Amino acid sequence: MLFQKNWLSFNLFIVFTLSSNCLVLAQDTINKLKISPLNDRCYVFTTWQKFNGQDFPANGMYVVASSGVIMIDTPWDTTQVAPLLDSIFARHHKKVVLCIATHYHDDRTGGFQILDRYKIKTWSSALTNFYCDKNKTTTASAIFLNDTIFNIDDVLLETYYPGPGHTSDNIVIWLPKQKILYGGCLIKSTDAQSLGNLTDADIYSWSTSLNNVRKKYPKPDFIIPGHQNWHSTFSIQHTLKLLEVHNNR
């Protein structure tokens, strides 16, 4: 277990080279797995599942460090966990060393059991762990109790719990060197026409939680939502508008 602002240090030193202009793509005609670069360290991966009868994309992310790769969330389509690991190794000649989940739904933690088979350490907040256990799904192999900084070689990732929103346990992850805010399902893409799955949402706290994120990380270069396109940095504002419309009905 980790306590507030604890530091994790992985003292492994492997030299790597990485081309900044290469797109890794593993995608067939029915949309299985897509990997897109944000920069020479950070990549968004997308898989698809059926939602309201249509194929719907879910985003995760990975970051390349000297000693290995850090994954944020697992693929929604768990048949693509192994292909993702293979694609990462083929491109970067590195293995995934850990995965951090941003909430307990299966589009974030569904691949935990498979990652366990690969001996990849999985992490979640204590609250996410509680809900995974309550719903009888695979829990992370390690938990953090409070907002935590992961320090893996030359990569920093900061977890932040802003309050309830899409779920009671949703967190965001900030990469300070790259100025990337990984919002997960707390933040809706500007492509979103609705708030999506509200089964476990706290509609009335969501706006406050989003404003907490805006105050803490005011000028990200990228904001990665849990679903759909991430090419706009106005996704928090868009989510607030969706909430306003929903709450005024």
Rounded to whole angstroms, the Cα distance separating 209 from 186 reads 9
DSSP code of residue 202: -
Rounded to whole angstroms, the Cα distance separating 79 from 72 reads 17
For the chain, the helix, strand and coil percentages under 3-state DSSP, each to the nearest 5: 25, 30, 45
Catalytic residue among 73, 107, 147, 153: 107
Rounded to whole angstroms, the Cα distance separating 225 from 209 reads 15
**103 has catalytic annotation:** yes
Task: Tell me the three state secondary structure of residue 79.
Answer: helix
**197 has catalytic annotation:** yes
DSSP code of residue 239: H
Catalytic residue among 73, 77, 92, 103: 103
Rounded to whole angstroms, the Cα distance separating 38 from 41 reads 8
**166 has catalytic annotation:** yes
Catalytic residue among 151, 197, 211, 229: 197
Catalytic residue among 59, 73, 77, 105: 105
Phi/psi for 93 (5° steps) reads 55, 40
127 and 168 Cβ atoms separated by less than 8 Å: yes
Task: Please state the length of the chain.
Answer: 249
Task: Tell me the three state secondary structure of residue 41.
Answer: coil
Catalytic residue among 92, 129, 153, 166: 166
Residues classed as catalytic: 103, 105, 107, 166, 197
